Structure 1
Amino acid sequence: MLPKVSVVIPVYNVESYLQRCVDSILNQTFQDFEIILINDGSKDNSGQICDEYAQKDKRIKVIHKKNARVSAARNDGIKIAKGKYLSFIDSDDWIEPEMYQVMVNKAEELNLDVIMCDYKKKSNNYEYKRTQPIREGYYSKDDIKNELFRCLIMFENIEFPPTISNWVCLFNIKFLKRNNLYYDEDIHYCEDSILGSKIMYHAASFYYFKNHYYYNYFYNPASTTNTYNENKWNAYLKINERLKIYFGNTFEYDFTRQIKINMLYFTLNTLGQLKYSGYDSKERLSRIQKIILHPKVTEIFEDFKLPNVSWKMKVAILLIKFKFVRLYSLFVLNKRRLNTLHFTDELLKKPQ
């Protein structure tokens, strides 16, 4: 008999956290699932831990492969999953015992394509509850078009859309495969964002469990999510270009402004991370200049009204628009107490 839920977990060098993650699934009140552990070339004992779990529970399958990063690992899971519904969990995170019972019941009741809950962002020192600025409950296709297309790619206040975190969602597998919805395997940063937008664009039904914090996201401040590197910037450029291709010619809704705000977010985010880089002032200024003068950044401001953000953020955006590189560096990056750029780092989920 086929399982109701397939849980896909990419695994890479997480021997300290993997047991907590897998046990949280095994301890669910809902037990009709399979767990697919994709050991993505781990160099620690993660692969051995995966095998030990598989020996103890026949519902657990393990794939060992050369490292190809998280997008490829998740796609592997989609292709072999046998469940009616699909869930992604990051291997250093964990879920609450009732998560699948509640979400599957609602999915079955309403024949849903996508179901989403909220999450708690946790570290060793604090806990922060994260919810989305949309209403709770059921969305038909018309509701999705009327209410969620306006934030399908980006909110007006330069925040990512509700489905940025794919791991708080339960997906109907037939829906994903029917619409050819897979991760772009050559994108290794912010890979959730582009797929999340595509999923909500195609979804015919959606349900949001607002203020139900079933997912626990372990926050590591040393993660590459929160640090600058040039490969990440190149990935951002690639994501934005693919959003243009995918959503640029839709007749149902004009996503042009959201795509521009998405590029603005990536620009601000990358510049903000340079503040904490180890570059000396000369090298940092050179990298700031390279970003601000990039043609894709210039394109943002063609027929572009400033978004609804704080005055400090607007000043930073105007400095980028008019290419005041040195002034931007002084205003944003060199004043210790000036919180000009406030980013929700959990939106750019941990890459491998």
Structure 2
Amino acid sequence: MFPKVSVIVPAFNCEKFLYKCIESIRNQSYSNIEIIVVNDGSTDNTEKIVLNMKEQENRIIYYKQENSGPSEARNKGISLSKGEYLVFIDSDDTVEPSYIEMLLNEMLISKADLVCCGYKDISDYGVVKYSDFHFNNSATVHSIMEMVCNGTGGVLWSKVFKKEIISKHSLKMDKTLFMSEDLLFVLQYVTHCKSFGSINKYLYNYNRLNQGSISSNISIDYIQNYISVCKSLEKIFLKSNFDTEKAKEIITKRIQDIVIKLVEQQSCHIKDIYRKSALTNVNQILSLNYISNYTNDFSTNKWLYKPFVFFVKNKFNRMSIIYGVNLNILRSLKKKLIKRKKVSL
């Protein structure tokens, strides 16, 4: 009558946020759940927090493994799960009390294979409500695939999955990847779905206050990982007969976004790595064949990023770093002004 929902929480050195995360799950209005916490080799008080909460909550299932990354932690959570439906929650985030109930109700009523909801983005700039899924009952697999590839559509949270589909098609996170492995999982899952549902509510609280920045010393391994993700995307698009031009557009945007992000990071750490090293790193990134094959197609409607796109397309790499330095200064000033305003209030 009331199907079980398995809530999978990968945890690594998250003592600062873990209690609030698990507590928000315990307080769900839908009670037939199991809370699977997979400790991925934490060295802080993560284990102590979970074990203390487990004494008071018999729905918590705890598993500890050697540090193997979030993909392996989530895969372990899937293998341990007993529920008909799966929900993934990151250990530094929280969910609203009706999160699981509303997602599950929509799935049962609409008989959808995937149901999504909106989220609240919590950062230094405040709280902003977002939803990456806007569609009606006529949504197709290809249209949902396109949505998954935009914004945070490809993350595991703010969604409920059917375990039957995951098991039937042996879907797993790729443990060889350390970024965007969730995007590939969601995209592969979508290709096996027949119908979709969404809730116009903001039920997931995405905490960006805990995000660390990309290392100032960007390695080629990092870029190669991203290229591997894009190549996997190409294979999924091809296998599902996704529109070729649309696929190229999506890949181009992803390559553009990571290039701009990495140039910005080099600019942010200019004092630590020196201008010459930053320029060497950017030159190295943009000289990769896979990256350079897409740069001529870069374009953006965002005015702040137009200079980046212009400099990169014309190989003015030094100018892109200088622009990034000045942009970072402006953002730092904006943060200070926001903090001062909060204090004055």
Interval of TM-score (by shorter of Structure 1 and Structure 2): 0.7 to 0.9
1:280 to 274, 277, 280: 274
Amino acid at match of 1:116: C
Q: Is the 8 A contact 1:5 1:85 kept in 2?
A: yes
Please name the residue that 1:299 is paired with. Answer: 293
> After superposition, what is the alpha-carbon deviation per residue over 1:80-124, rounded to whole angstroms, capped at 9, x for unaligned?
211111011111111111111111111111222111111112247
For 1:86 and 1:222, how far apart are their aligned partners in 2? 25
For 2:241 and 2:164, how far apart are their aligned partners in 1? 25
Q: Give the 3 Å change call, closer, same or farther, for CA 151–110 of structure 1 in structure 2.
A: closer
Please name the residue that 1:213 is paired with. Answer: 202
Amino acid at match of 1:331: Y
| Matched ranges for 1:239-250 at <5 A | 239-250=229-240
3-state SS, counterpart of residue 260 of structure 2: helix
> After superposition, what is the alpha-carbon deviation per residue over 1:267-298, rounded to whole angstroms, capped at 9, x for unaligned?
12211221212311111111111112221111
Greater Cα offset, 200-209 or 223-232 = 223-232
For 1:336 and 1:77, how far apart are their aligned partners in 2? 39
Q: TM-score, normalised by structure 2?
A: 0.85
Q: Is the 8 A contact 1:86 1:172 kept in 2?
A: yes
Aligned length: 326
For 2:279 and 2:202, how far apart are their aligned partners in 1? 41
Please report how far the alpha carbon of residue 70 of structure 1 lies from its aligned counterpart in structure 2 after TM superposition: 0.7
Please name the residue that 1:268 is paired with. Answer: 260
For 2:218 and 2:295, how far apart are their aligned partners in 1? 25
For 2:328 and 2:80, how far apart are their aligned partners in 1? 50
Q: Is the 8 A contact 1:9 1:89 kept in 2?
A: yes
Please report how far the alpha carbon of residue 52 of structure 1 lies from its aligned counterpart in structure 2 after TM superposition: 2.4
Q: Give the 3 Å change call, closer, same or farther, for CA 311–2 of structure 1 in structure 2.
A: closer
Please report how far the alpha carbon of residue 319 of structure 1 lies from its aligned counterpart in structure 2 after TM superposition: 2.4
For 1:144 and 1:2, how far apart are their aligned partners in 2? 29
For 2:313 and 2:207, how far apart are their aligned partners in 1? 36
Q: Is the 8 A contact 2:141 2:193 kept in 1?
A: no
- Detail structure 1 runs of 4+ shifted over 6 Å in the superposition: none
For 2:174 and 2:96, how far apart are their aligned partners in 1? 29
For 2:283 and 2:43, how far apart are their aligned partners in 1? 38
Please report how far the alpha carbon of residue 229 of structure 1 lies from its aligned counterpart in structure 2 after TM superposition: 3.5
Please name the residue that 1:7 is paired with. Answer: 7
| Matched ranges for 1:1-352 at <5 A | 4-123=4-123, 126-132=126-132, 134-136=133-135, 138-140=136-138, 143-145=139-141, 147-153=143-149, 160-161=150-151, 163-210=153-200, 212-220=201-209, 223-224=212-213, 229-230=218-219, 231-254=221-244, 255-277=247-269, 278-301=272-295, 304=297, 306-310=298-302, 313-334=305-326
Q: Is the 8 A contact 2:88 2:157 kept in 1?
A: yes
Extract unaligned runs of 5+ from structure 1: 154-159, 340-352
Please report how far the alpha carbon of residue 27 of structure 1 lies from its aligned counterpart in structure 2 after TM superposition: 0.7
Q: TM-score, normalised by structure 1?
A: 0.83
Amino acid at match of 1:291: I
**Which has the larger share of helix?**
2
> After superposition, what is the alpha-carbon deviation per residue over 1:115-171, rounded to whole angstroms, capped at 9, x for unaligned?
111111224773222222x425x545xx22463344453xxxxxx355222111111
Extract unaligned runs of 5+ from structure 2: 332-345
3-state SS, counterpart of residue 67 of structure 2: coil
> After superposition, what is the alpha-carbon deviation per residue over 1:288-331, rounded to whole angstroms, capped at 9, x for unaligned?
111122211111146x4x54523553442232223222232233
For 1:115 and 1:335, how far apart are their aligned partners in 2? 38
Amino acid at match of 2:205: N
> After superposition, what is the alpha-carbon deviation per residue over 1:12-37, rounded to whole angstroms, capped at 9, x for unaligned?
11122211111111111110000101
Q: Is the 8 A contact 1:35 1:61 kept in 2?
A: yes
3-state SS, counterpart of residue 29 of structure 2: coil
Percent identity, please. Answer: 25
For 1:59 and 1:10, how far apart are their aligned partners in 2? 16
For 1:113 and 1:124, how far apart are their aligned partners in 2? 35
3-state SS, counterpart of residue 58 of structure 2: coil
For 1:110 and 1:2, how far apart are their aligned partners in 2? 16
Over aligned residue pairs, what C-alpha RMSD do you find?
2.6
Please report how far the alpha carbon of residue 196 of structure 1 lies from its aligned counterpart in structure 2 after TM superposition: 2.6
Higher relative contact order (CA 8 A, sep 6+): 1
Q: Is the 8 A contact 2:122 2:207 kept in 1?
A: yes
Q: Is the 8 A contact 1:182 1:195 kept in 2?
A: yes
3-state SS, counterpart of residue 16 of structure 1: coil
